[in-house]
Structure 1
Amino acid sequence: MALRKAAALALASLALAGGGLVGSASAASATAAGDNSLATVEGVDGVPARGDGTDCAFGRLCLYTEPNFKGTRFDLYVCRDYRLAQWNGFGSAWNAQTVGTVARFKDEEYRVIGTIKGRDPSGTIYGYNSYDFSPVWYANNC
């Protein structure tokens, strides 16, 4: 747990220093970080992902267990903090919520360590095709 906390603090420091999170990483670092094959989201059933992000319905924050919107998809739509378990590596995320709704990723102390801005008025949807979920303990879709 101390290692996970140290990783969360390092990522939070990077986010503050750089003004945001890095949304991608090399294949070598993705392998080193572990995998999300046993990942769960408390209270949400996962479903197989299509692999292109278009399966994330309007009004949802979708978390994927693999990069490029593959693996298992978890749809978050009720406004709350969702507990993530066994997210030990790189996955992806898509914020298809209403205009301006910012999704937040939090560490074990509920500190925000990353965000994905919401849909903009032109209809553009934002997300990360590769995101290291290792330091993330909670996802908040609102």
Structure 2
Amino acid sequence: MTLRKAAALILASLALVTGGLASSASAAPSGGNDNSQATVEGIDGVPARGDGGDCSYGRLCLYTQPNFKGTRFDLYVCRDYRLAQWNGYGSAWNNQTVGTVAAFKNSTFTVIGSIPGREVNGTIHGYSNYNFSPVWYAYNC
């Protein structure tokens, strides 16, 4: 075995080991598109109605499936919420007051996405199809 092949084999093994450790510890492991086990720390999920209209005023709502389906999590106390097992696409509504921007953050609390609150005309802002895989935290205010 050449030195180059041996080094490549060692690097591949390290990548496999660290990748496995990262995804087992990760709040939002990459790969797949199954949010059926998704949770939001401190919030009980409820069945979603499927049209986004079930997100009460003053809340950021996260849905485990695209198009506001699956399980809905209502975030209303101003804080960072830890997400776990969000492995793919879901959806979100920001049904909060004008100027209240909700943010999605990665593992280092860096903002990687955001949704503005209601506009003056009452339009609710959100994503009908959002990839939550890189999201570890949602901040609602």
TM-score interval, smaller chain: 0.7 to 0.9
Question: Aligned-pair distance for 1:33?
Answer: 3.6
In the other structure, the counterpart of 2:130 is 131
Question: Aligned-pair distance for 1:113?
Answer: 0.2
In the other structure, the counterpart of 2:118 is 119
**Kept after mapping to 2: 8 A contact 1:69/1:92:** yes
In the other structure, the counterpart of 2:99 is 100
Amino acid at match of 2:40: V
CA distance in structure 1 between the aligned counterparts of 2:82 and 2:57, rounded to whole angstroms: 22
Describe the superposition over 1:24-49 as per-residue Cα deviations: whole angstroms up to 9, x where unpaired. Answer: xxxxxxxx642100000000000000
**Kept after mapping to 2: 8 A contact 1:33/1:134:** no
Amino acid at match of 1:40: T
- Structure 2, unmatched stretches of 5+, are 1-21
Larger radius of gyration: 2
Describe the superposition over 1:5-32 as per-residue Cα deviations: whole angstroms up to 9, x where unpaired. Answer: xx99xxxxxxxxxxxxxxxxxxxxxxx6
Scaled by the length of structure 2, the TM-score of the pair is 0.79
Describe the superposition over 1:73-102 as per-residue Cα deviations: whole angstroms up to 9, x where unpaired. Answer: 000000000000000010000000011100
What secondary structure sits across from 1:68 in the alignment?
helix
Counterparts of residues 20-35 of structure 1 (less than 5 Å): 33-35=32-34
Amino acid at match of 2:94: N
Provide runs of 4+ in structure 1 moved above 4 Å.
none
In the other structure, the counterpart of 1:12 is none
Aligned-CA RMSD value: 2.0
- Structure 1, unmatched stretches of 5+, are 9-31
In the other structure, the counterpart of 2:86 is 87
What secondary structure sits across from 2:67 in the alignment?
helix
